[in-house]
Amino acid sequence: MKNTLPITLPRRHWLATAAVLALTGFERTALAQATTLQVWKDPNCGCCQLWVEHLQASGFKVEVRDVGNTAARKRLGMPEQLGSCHTASVGGYVIEGHVPAADIHRLLKERPAALGLSVPGMPIGSPGMDGPEYKGRKDAYDVLLVQKDGSTKSFQHYPGLRRMAQRDGLQRVSDDAAVLPWASAEVRRIDKAAGKVALKHGEIKNLDMPPMSMVFQVKDPSQLDALQVGQKVRFQAVQDKGAYWVLKIEAAAL
Ligand SMILES: [Cu+2]
pLDDT number for residue 132:
86
CA of residue 96 to ligand 1 center, whole Å: 10
Low-confidence ranges of the chain (pLDDT < 50): 1-10, 12, 14-17, 19-20, 23, 27, 30, 32-33, 163-175
Q: CA 95 to CA 36: how far, in whole Å?
A: 12
Q: How far is CA 53 from CA 46, 50, 129, 167, in A?
A: 11, 5, 12, 29
Which residue, among 219, 222, 210, 221, has the nearest Cα to 185 in the 3D structure?
Answer: 210
pLDDT digits (tens, 9 = 90+) for 42-69: 999 999 999 999 999 999 999 999 999 9
Q: How far is the CA of 85 from the centre of ligand 1 (A)?
A: 5
Query: How many angstroms does the Cα of residue 86 sit away from the middle of ligand 1?
Result: 7
Ligand 1 centre to CA of 129 (Å) is 7
Rounded-to-integer distance, Cα 145 and Cα 160, Å: 20
242, amino acid identity: G
Q: How far is the CA of 213 from the centre of ligand 1 (A)?
A: 10
